[in-house]
Amino acid sequence: MTATIYIQPGAVLNANGVCRFRVWAPLRNKVSLLLPEQNVTHEMQRDADGYWSVTLPNIKAGTLYYYILDDEGKRPDPASRHQPEGVHGPSAVTDPNDFTFTDDQWKGMDLEQMIIYELHTGTFSPEGTLQGIISRLPALQELGITAIEIMPVAQFPGSRNWGYDGVYPFALQNSYGSINDLKKLVDAAHNMGIAVILDVVYNHQGPEGNYFNDYGPYFTDKYKTPWGQAINYDDAWSDGVRSFYIANALMWLDEFHIDGLRLDAVHAYWDSSALHFVQELTTAVHELEQRCGKKKILIGELDLNNPRYITPVANGGYGLQGQWIDEFHHALHSHLTGETNGYYEDFGKLELLARSYADAYVYTGQYSAHRKRKFGLAPEHLPYSQFVAFIQNHDQVGNRMLGERLSTLVPFEALKLAAAALLLSPFVPLLFMGEEYGEKNPFPFFASFEDPELVSAVREGRKKEFAAFHAAGEAPDPMAPGTFDAAKLSWDTKTPENATLLACYRYLIGLRKTRPALKYHERNGSKVHPVINERLLV
Amino acid sequence: MTATIYIQPGAVLNANGVCRFRVWAPLRNKVSLLLPEQNVTHEMQRDADGYWSVTLPNIKAGTLYYYILDDEGKRPDPASRHQPEGVHGPSAVTDPNDFTFTDDQWKGMDLEQMIIYELHTGTFSPEGTLQGIISRLPALQELGITAIEIMPVAQFPGSRNWGYDGVYPFALQNSYGSINDLKKLVDAAHNMGIAVILDVVYNHQGPEGNYFNDYGPYFTDKYKTPWGQAINYDDAWSDGVRSFYIANALMWLDEFHIDGLRLDAVHAYWDSSALHFVQELTTAVHELEQRCGKKKILIGELDLNNPRYITPVANGGYGLQGQWIDEFHHALHSHLTGETNGYYEDFGKLELLARSYADAYVYTGQYSAHRKRKFGLAPEHLPYSQFVAFIQNHDQVGNRMLGERLSTLVPFEALKLAAAALLLSPFVPLLFMGEEYGEKNPFPFFASFEDPELVSAVREGRKKEFAAFHAAGEAPDPMAPGTFDAAKLSWDTKTPENATLLACYRYLIGLRKTRPALKYHERNGSKVHPVINERLLV
């Protein structure tokens, strides 16, 4: 069960069919529960913290419900566990105890043991479902992967989305399968020695099906974000918002046996509180770890080059175990491709890759031409094993206009070099699905919004974004089903080049696991000798 | 001279009459220097960081100048050292070496030795000038004061202003006296064993005479502040902004021999950089200390209850030596007056004063009804001597609709009790001018803007603000000269009550200085025993 210190919102059904419905709406005068199948309404009681609740007997899993706020009309539950008809339809009660895990022996995994494989449920397999992942776990195991990282699965509008437009953080995307499918996936992975990391979005909510503002001050106008309203982590009423997201993290880690969370865009968690939200979150997760006796990790996507986020709480930090280092990617990518547009203007020189090998961050206080300011601090005293590196990921591939993978941008030999640069690095390596055999299908941005205004705004926005980034060519229509279909993995591992590259990844991963020198992540364990003019790092 | 690592902006005149004019305008294509008295223009050269400069011989102190930006018209220098005709007029060259200090023996003062007296230059003396302060230093010395804290003296519009509407951080308010008057004041104070703290405003700039946006991106729209645009501490081009304010701090501390700065509203220094601006500032000031061999201190006004700001850099903090604790005031004030409106709703109970004596902050993670969220963290391990406490200050008096001092709100005996509660506390005490003899003249908000729209906006704003705060009565017109005149100290120390209170302050200050138990500021040196029902703290 999830931690009791954070109130679990939503419909919580117990084994006797008693269900407690609980929703945070601190500024509402009246909140009722509507059960549309029975056409009955139940008044709810408010507590001092602004949570409204009602407990009812004889509720079955699958029961549909809405809340009615001040008689203004029905709304789905922001903490819904299931949206069978999508983001605009009713919420549904689920049974958290309807699955029996068989992974008692699994104790979790340290970040430094991980060789991570990032995948997108909808395009990873032909089926585009969680079942499609389960059936391909053996292939990943054979490759040597020790952890999969699943792009966000929170309910989003329609059936095609990277996942960052989710609007029901507690609900599993209805087109990906059932709650039990995700539990089966985790259980199967654990029984194969594979950890499961889930990508979660706590920095914004998606634009469609977003009913949060009807419920309460989930957002604040104090700060700006590129993706709409900032989450209210430090303004009036923020306790309820913080508790909501922490309860969400604990749900995935506890009920679903997920081993770790990848926190999207932690730099956009605006919080001026003395107790930073990240620190409250890491503390809560640490308490869960103590209670359940299994390792749980938190990894941030973080564009601040600020070591404080990954410094232990005891040393004045916020306590994340790890963070992504995009700069390692940028340094390697711009050097291999010669690209210097957009944020690559800060990279391109081999010496910057050497700096990443030495310091993890490339910018540790130097002037960044792209940011037009000095940027970053050196993460001294933090081991290399706190940094997740990659030569591709969903963003670095997908935020290109055409979504091209590295396999279509550089010669084949360079792919092997890049694989070695990653897998023999002191960092925790992350592969993007298909990278291991040189997948050539693109991974462009796609979505399936239903609101016509939003659809056209997104189309225009993408065009505008790429007007500056790329010189020529037309962006694929993000709303077209064909754009999504084209992103599906081919699983073409038989062509000579693909087979060779796959063998190369297997070899390098094997080498990484067996050579002690490659498992040593302390700072003093490696030295970088850039021989700049000869394009060589030793 | 000020630190060379931070480029000193403005007109810097050397002993040979050679003057270097230097201004930051990174987005301008052309910047020229206009000397209106000679009616000549000099083209300036841009360096890589966006600073434009020209060096001219035969320049005398007092020479007037403007900059011309892209031929768009003349503007005063944002780093002007002198605005002889006010905020809209020309800037003037000054001679930094025109004064000989006699305070070589002075080594500065630790915060824990300070008994601070906050004063406002315009209303402290009948003259309303820096000379008026010098002539009254003996009275402060006799009282036992060891430090004066001068409300902001940076050039503001007109002649009447608290100082927080300044728009030339490097220029001394022209109606207060000359640069040498301030140096004389500091020199005299030092020779009497009195330290000088200056209040500086690095969180916003005033609304009138604010030409910063013409020069460069001094502001950002990323964050909201109650006082207009936030200072750009972390967006593109912020290096120039950070350097500007750090150079300002170093100028006061070095050229003027100021002992410390009180940083206004540090909670509104929005900065997501890995190296927080406060840390960069404390580091620069520490370097100055090392170089000049004199103690220099930085004290923040800080409404975050976040110990990180006053934690040493070596321990993961930002390194301020001290901070104001408004909550001590609020707890005492609301208990004495029974006031529970506005932010006093979070106070009123004696046990909250006890909590402040124990923890310095009152809110260390508890729910605040006024903020509608949990607030703060306990400043464990930080000595009491890092906290500046007060029973009155310019804000707590002046932000009342009528600007009433405590002397007109509570019985006389309560004033003595309050004085003892402050002066026998483990914190660094701060008195607000006139408090020592029970001054009854108010200290309301006043200003003398010239822009008619701004004048009416400020008048309306004040009325609106107080609509909620006070039940009845009319706010004095902040723009009326009479409002300012009424705020001048009466210096009426002869009436029996006033004389008694003054003697009481002298006695308590003497006691504080001589009793070792009262000089012991470590955490384990004091214990608070609240006996709640009997209205007693032991």
Place of tokens 């701090």: B249
Give this complex's ipTM. 0.93
Residue B378 included in any domain: yes
| pLDDT on residue B532 | 44
A272–B304: do the CB atoms touch at under 8 Å? yes
**A317 at the B interface (CB within 8 A)?**
yes
Name every chain B residue with its beta carbon within 8 A of the beta carbon of A234. 373
Last-in-domain residue among B59, B92, B125: B92
The two three-digit tokens of residue B132, written as one number: 């008026």
Q: Please tell me the distance from the alpha carbon of residue B314 to that of residue B295, in angstroms, as a whole number.
A: 19
A239–B267: do the CB atoms touch at under 8 Å? no
In this structure, the answer to whether residues B433 and B371 fall within a common structural domain is yes
Name every chain A residue with its beta carbon within 8 A of the beta carbon of B314. none
Touching B: A residues 127-146, CB under 8 Å: none
In this structure, the answer to whether residues B130 and B148 fall within a common structural domain is yes
B274–A304: do the CB atoms touch at under 8 Å? yes
In this structure, the answer to whether residues B227 and B349 fall within a common structural domain is yes
Q: Is the pLDDT of residue A195 over 70?
A: yes
A239–B307: do the CB atoms touch at under 8 Å? no
Residues 6+ apart with CB under 8 A from B390: B118, B324, B328, B329, B396, B422, B429, B430, B431, B432
Residue B345 included in any domain: yes
| pLDDT on residue B515 | 77
pLDDT category at A521 given cuts 50, 70, 90 is low
| pLDDT on residue B430 | 98
Q: Which domain holds residue A297?
A: 201-318
Q: Please tell me the distance from the alpha carbon of residue A245 to that of residue A24, in angstroms, as a whole number.
A: 12
Residues 6+ apart with CB under 8 A from B338: B348
Name every chain A residue with its beta carbon within 8 A of the beta carbon of B376. 274
In this structure, the answer to whether residues B170 and B39 fall within a common structural domain is no
Q: Please tell me the distance from the alpha carbon of residue A463 to that of residue A323, in angstroms, as a whole number.
A: 31
CB A25 within 8 Å of CB A75: no
Residue A510 included in any domain: no
% pLDDT > 70, chain A: 94
Ordered mean pLDDT values, 10 residues apiece, chain B (538 residues) = 65 95 97 97 96 97 97 95 97 95 98 98 98 98 98 97 97 97 98 98 95 97 84 97 97 97 96 97 97 97 98 95 98 96 92 95 97 96 96 95 95 96 97 98 95 89 71 81 97 97 98 76 56 46
* CA torsion angle B486 B487 B492 B497 (round to 10): 100
CATH number at residue A58: 2.60.40.10
Mean pLDDT, chain A, whole residue set: 93
In this structure, the answer to whether residues B254 and B322 fall within a common structural domain is yes
Q: How far is A311 from chain B (nearest CA, A)?
A: 10
Let me know how long chain B is: 538
Q: Please tell me the distance from the alpha carbon of residue A131 to that of residue A166, in angstroms, as a whole number.
A: 21
In this structure, the answer to whether residues B228 and B129 fall within a common structural domain is yes
* Count of domains forming chain B: 3
Tell me whether residue B79 is exposed, middle or buried, using C-beta atoms within 10 angstroms of its C-beta: 0 to 12, 13 to 18, 19 or more. Answer: buried
Instruction: Quote the strand ranges of B167-250, DSSP E.
Output: 168-172, 195-200, 219-220, 230-231
What DSSP designation does A251 have?
A: I
Q: Is the pLDDT of residue A534 over 80?
A: no
| pLDDT on residue B243 | 96
Residue B60 included in any domain: yes
Residue A297 included in any domain: yes
Q: Model confidence over A99-146: pLDDT tens digits?
A: 999 999 999 999 999 999 999 999 999 999 999 999 999 999 999 999
| pLDDT on residue B449 | 94
Q: How far is A224 from chain B (nearest CA, A)?
A: 5
- With CA atoms as reference, the chain B residue closest to A371 would be B236
In this structure, the answer to whether residues B259 and B206 fall within a common structural domain is yes
Q: How far is A5 from chain B (nearest CA, A)?
A: 15
- With CA atoms as reference, the chain B residue closest to A270 would be B272
**A313 at the B interface (CB within 8 A)?**
no
For B414, other C-beta atoms within 10 Å of its C-beta total 17
Q: Is the pLDDT of residue A533 over 60?
A: no
Last-in-domain residue among A92, A110, A130: A92
Last-in-domain residue among A299, A318, A337: A318
**Which of A235, A304, A365 is closest, CB to CB, to B272?**
A304
| pLDDT on residue B3 | 41
Residue of B95, B208, B235, B264 with catalytic role: B264
DSSP H/E element including B119: strand B116-119
The verdict on whether A264 is a catalytic residue reads: yes
State mean pLDDT over A28-54.
97
Q: Please tell me the distance from the alpha carbon of residue B511 to that of residue B518, in angstroms, as a whole number.
A: 8
In this structure, the answer to whether residues B467 and B433 fall within a common structural domain is no
| pLDDT on residue A240 | 96
B377–A304: do the CB atoms touch at under 8 Å? no
**Which of B236, B272, B316 is closest, CB to CB, to A316?**
B316
Name every chain B residue with its beta carbon within 8 A of the beta carbon of A270. 272
CATH number at residue B329: 3.20.20.80
% pLDDT > 90, chain A: 86
Q: Please tell me the distance from the alpha carbon of residue B473 to that of residue B493, in angstroms, as a whole number.
A: 29
Q: Model confidence over A232-257: pLDDT tens digits?
A: 999 999 999 999 999 999 999 999 99
CA torsion sign, B163 to B164 to B167 to B169? positive
**B237 at the A interface (CB within 8 A)?**
yes
**What residues pair up with B536 in beta bridges, in sequence order?**
B531
- With CA atoms as reference, the chain A residue closest to B27 would be A372
**Which of B373, B376, B377 is closest, CB to CB, to A238?**
B373
| pLDDT on residue B2 | 40
Residue B98 included in any domain: no
Angle between helices A350-359 and A326-337 (to 10 degrees): 160
CB B162 within 8 Å of CB B124: no
State mean pLDDT over A399-412.
95
State mean pLDDT over A254-269.
97
Q: Is the pLDDT of residue A518 over 80?
A: no
The verdict on whether A303 is a catalytic residue reads: no
**Which of A239, A371, A372 is closest, CB to CB, to B373?**
A239
Q: Is the pLDDT of residue A357 over 60?
A: yes
Residue B401 included in any domain: yes
Q: Please tell me the distance from the alpha carbon of residue A395 to that of residue A326, in angstroms, as a whole number.
A: 10
In this structure, the answer to whether residues B299 and B153 fall within a common structural domain is yes
Going by DSSP bridges, is the β-strand pair A428-432/A387-390 parallel, antiparallel, or unpaired? parallel
Q: Please tell me the distance from the alpha carbon of residue B359 to that of residue B355, in angstroms, as a whole number.
A: 6
| pLDDT on residue B227 | 76
DSSP H/E element including B84: none
Residue A271 included in any domain: yes
Place of tokens 């754009």: A483
